[in-house]
Structures are given as C-alpha cells and as structure tokens.
Amino acid sequence: MDFKTFVFYLLATVMVLAALRVITVRNPVHAALFLVLTFFNAGGIWLLLQAEFLAITLVMVYVGAVMVLFLFVVMMLDINVDRLREGFWSYLPVGAVVGVIMLAEMVLVLSGPYFGLDAMPEPPAAQAGYSNTRELGRVLYTDYVYPFELASLVLLVAMVAAVALTLRKRAGSRYLDPARQIAVKRADRIELLSMPAEKE
C-alpha cells in the first residue's frame, strides 16, 4: 500500500465515521461539528483526485461559511432531546420507506454501467503547467455558460425569497439612520454660550 492509498483510507475512514456520528450523536452542536469534519475530509479526498480548486472551494464555502451560519443558529436553539425522541416509533415506518427508496436508487445508479473501475479508467497524468482552476473556468464559461448562468439565477431567486420571507417590519420599532448619526457635527449638539459670571 503506497502512501497515497494510505491517506485515502485514512480520510475515508474518518469521513464515514464522522458522517455516522452526525446522525447518532445526541447534541445538535456536536452533530454540526461532525458534519464540518465530514466536509473537511471530503475536501481531502478531492485533493487526492487532483481537483484542488473544487476541494478548497468545498472547504471555503461549506466549512468556512455555510456551517458557521448553521452552527450560529443551532447554538441558539434550546433543543430538548427527550421530546424529539417521543414520536420516534410512529415516524419510523415513513422514515424507513424513504431510506429504502434512497438506498435502492443509489444502488441502481452506482452499480450501473457508468461507475466502476472499468467505466472510469485513470486519466493520463497532467503535463507540467496544467492548471486545474484555469481548465474548470474555461469549461464553465464556454461549453456550460447557459446552465451556469441559469444556476446563478436560481441562487439569486432563492436569495431574494429568503430575504422576502424573513423581512418583517414590526409596528412601532424605532430606527436610527446611521448615515445621519455619522454626519452629526459638533456644532449640531453643542452650543457655546458666553455669559457673564453670576454672583451668589
């Protein structure tokens, strides 16, 4: 077993174990942190595939931004684990059906002709000066420019929808305009008066 294989198995083992802990651990904050570990190891495996742009972007977007906001929310929830477990047995059949369907679909796709060592021969080694990022950018903005723009449009719609859903104006809330606050000069607040000294 050469060094690369060893690294792959190390990353894969940690990743699978962490993914398992995400759904088995009781505390939601611990679960979110295990998900962070899973993403990080997935990034490592992508690095082994020489997809450094995708790997680093995965870490930057999911670990650096998405999971931070996720933790931000989860930390503030006061989750009662016992109450969450109450309906476990009544939900189990529905959950089991969904799980079996997903498993069946994955088996169908992954065991099909598109995957496997024969279907995906090892790509030739990259020549010197080959830049993963440049190639990805070229493909993304030439061959796939319309799907790419469409995807960004979907994201934009989702962003606008998220803002629209959460934007609420409470009646009677007070608001200070920061621009006006910053624009305040000394003369607006302080007036210097000259007056004669008073005797008691």
Partner 1 sequence: MEAFLEPIASLFGAAWPAVWTLAKIVAIIAPLMICVAYLTYAERKVIGYMQVRIGPNRVGPLGLLQPIADGVKLLLKEVLVPSATSKGLFIIGPILAIAPSLAAWAVVPFWDGGVLANVDAGLLFLLAITSLEVYGVIIAGWASNSKYPFLGTLRAAAQMVSYELAMGFALVCVLMISASLNLTEIVRAQGQGQFADMGLGFLSWNWLPLFPMFVVFLISGIAETNRAPFDVVEGESEIVAGHMVEYSGMTFALFFLAEYANMWLVSIMTAILFLGGWLSPVGFIPDGFHWLAVKTSLVVLVFLWARATFPRFRYDHIMRLGWKVFLPLTLFWVLVVAVWIMSPLSIWN
Site of interaction with partner 1 (CB under 8 A): 29-30, 33, 36, 52-53, 56-57, 59-60, 63-65, 68-69, 71-72, 75-76, 131-133, 178
Query: Least separation, in Å, of the C-beta of 121 and partner 1?
Result: 25
76 or 164, CB closer to partner 1?
76
Query: Least separation, in Å, of the C-beta of 149 and partner 1?
Result: 16
Separation of alpha carbons 170 and 95, rounded Å: 39
130 touches 48 (CB < 8 A): no
63 touches 36 (CB < 8 A): yes
Separation of alpha carbons 189 and 59, rounded Å: 50
75 or 106, CB closer to partner 1?
75
Query: Least separation, in Å, of the C-beta of 117 and partner 1?
Result: 28
10 or 107, CB closer to partner 1?
10
Separation of alpha carbons 17 and 23, rounded Å: 10
Query: Least separation, in Å, of the C-beta of 156 and partner 1?
Result: 13
DSSP character string of 159-193: HHHHHHHH--PPTT-----HHHHHH--HHHH----
15 or 63, CB closer to partner 1?
63
